[in-house]
Amino acid sequence: MSDQQLLHLVFGGRLTGTGSMTFEDIEDLEIVGIFPNYKSAEKAWRAASQRSVDDAYTRYFVVHLHELMEPDMEMDLQGHPLKGPSE
């Protein structure tokens, strides 16, 4: 199972407010990249977030693409696929 790709997307941009999940302008979203695992995605997310630490309205997100691509895959609490086929 260690060779399985668990794709993650890292993106972000400026929100309309600090408590909002609405972007000011979706055409200005920054796509940081697509990564083969959560560890590398988290590293990229941290770097992008650190660059904008002084702007409370800018946030970055990690999207678990593998969950969207295989929604029936059973996952553990940490988001890792469970061994064995789904029943």
Query: Please, what are the domains in the chain?
Result: 9-34+46-87 (3.30.70.2400)
pLDDT at 40: 96
| pLDDT of 53 above 80 | yes
Residue of higher predicted confidence among 83 and 69: 69
List 12's β-bridge partners, or say none.
Answer: 30, 60
Confidence of residue 86 (pLDDT cuts 50, 70, 90): very low
| pLDDT of 49 above 60 | yes
From CA 34, how far away is CA 62, in angstroms rounded? 10
